[in-house]
Amino acid sequence: MTRFSSSLHLLALTGAMALAGGAQAQDKSILVQSTTSTANSGLYDYLLPEFEKASGIKVNVVAVGTGQAIKNAQNCDGDVLLVHAKAAEEKFVAEGYGVTRSDLMYNDFIIVGPQADPAGVAGMNDVKAALAKLSQSGAAFASRGDDSGTHKKEMSLWKAAGIEPSGEWYRSTGSGMGATLNAGIGMGAYVMTDRATWISFGNKGDYQIAVEGDPEMFNQYGVILVNPDKCPTVKQADGQAFIDWLLSDDGQKAIGGYQIDGQQLFFPDAE
């Protein structure tokens, strides 16, 4: 082999190693299947740069309703699940799809409605009594109807109130929270939403919070590593690193520090 050809061989080898190293560096990433409220509220935009800078791990987020996020994770499309439907999360773990579920943070659900308040529920803090008044009044109510965490909670509250919502007044959008709020405001309907989405929502019109403060409207978020025994493609070390950071003092402080117009959107509660 000539000196020239040897130099070419060395350059080719060095280039191949650089490409391999670059591929490995690019592969330092995880996919999080997430509820929409954490994305729509801007929380990830606030949190992820801090984690990525500290860890070198890129976090990609798929934000869908909780029901769809769980289905996606069951199909091994993701490394971490971050949603807000505790019973469904515990079932996910019990069936072997998740390793361990941890409480991460909380806020609450609220019912918003037009200033005119046709159902007369403004200022109520008993959600079952408010839902009874809503159903009796015939005032329009817009539901997500999409098996999201918010929809699951809404249906459990109707059930607790002994009401099966149906009829012309009850409108199911089959859409995400932002789209449902837009639709509800457009038709003058009451809407149940998580507080974080409402605070960050930019098209409030004359709408205001009508019902809030009932302990039944508590909204807990959990985080789970997808089980690599079920899904061999799971990036276990990097996914667990993200979860560990969220549950750490630094991650919890970052969650609690996220505010819009002086209002805290999520309250950390990792044990």
Which CATH number belongs to the domain containing residue 245 in this structure?
A: 3.40.190.10
Shared domain check, 264 and 228: yes
Residue 200 in any domain: the answer is yes
pLDDT of the residue at 16 = 43
pLDDT of the residue at 22 = 47
Residue 20 in any domain: the answer is no
Residue 227 in any domain: the answer is yes
Shared domain check, 92 and 154: no
Residue 161 in any domain: the answer is yes
pLDDT of the residue at 27 = 63
Residue 21 in any domain: the answer is no
For residue 141, the surrounding DSSP H or E stretch is strand 141-143
pLDDT of the residue at 218 = 98
pLDDT of the residue at 271 = 83
Shared domain check, 116 and 88: no
Residue 22 in any domain: the answer is no
Residue 23 in any domain: the answer is no
Shared domain check, 119 and 202: yes
For residue 120, the enclosing domain spans 108-217
pLDDT of the residue at 6 = 42
Q: Which residues contact 63 (CB under 8 A, 6 or more apart)?
A: 34, 35, 36, 38, 39, 40
Shared domain check, 53 and 131: no
Which residue among 198, 217, 236 closes a domain?
217
Shared domain check, 120 and 76: no
Q: What's the whole-model pTM score?
A: 0.87
Shared domain check, 208 and 226: no
Shared domain check, 98 and 120: no
The strand pair at 170-172 and 29-34 is best described as: unpaired
Residues of the chain with pLDDT under 50: 1-25
pLDDT of the residue at 7 = 41
pLDDT of the residue at 164 = 96
Shared domain check, 80 and 123: no
pLDDT of the residue at 69 = 97
pLDDT of the residue at 2 = 44
Number of domains in the chain: 2
Sign of the Cα torsion 230, 52, 86, 247 reads positive
Shared domain check, 171 and 133: yes
Residue 70 in any domain: the answer is yes
Shared domain check, 181 and 168: yes
Q: What residue type is 252 in one-letter code?
A: Q
What letters, b where the CB count within 10 A reaches 16 and e where it falls short, cover 140-153? bbbbbbbbbbbbbb
Shared domain check, 203 and 112: yes
Instruction: Give the burial class of 105: count Cβ atoms within 10 A of its Cβ; 0-12 exposed, 13-18 middle, 19 or more buried.
Output: buried
Phi, psi of 117 (to 5 degrees): 50, 65
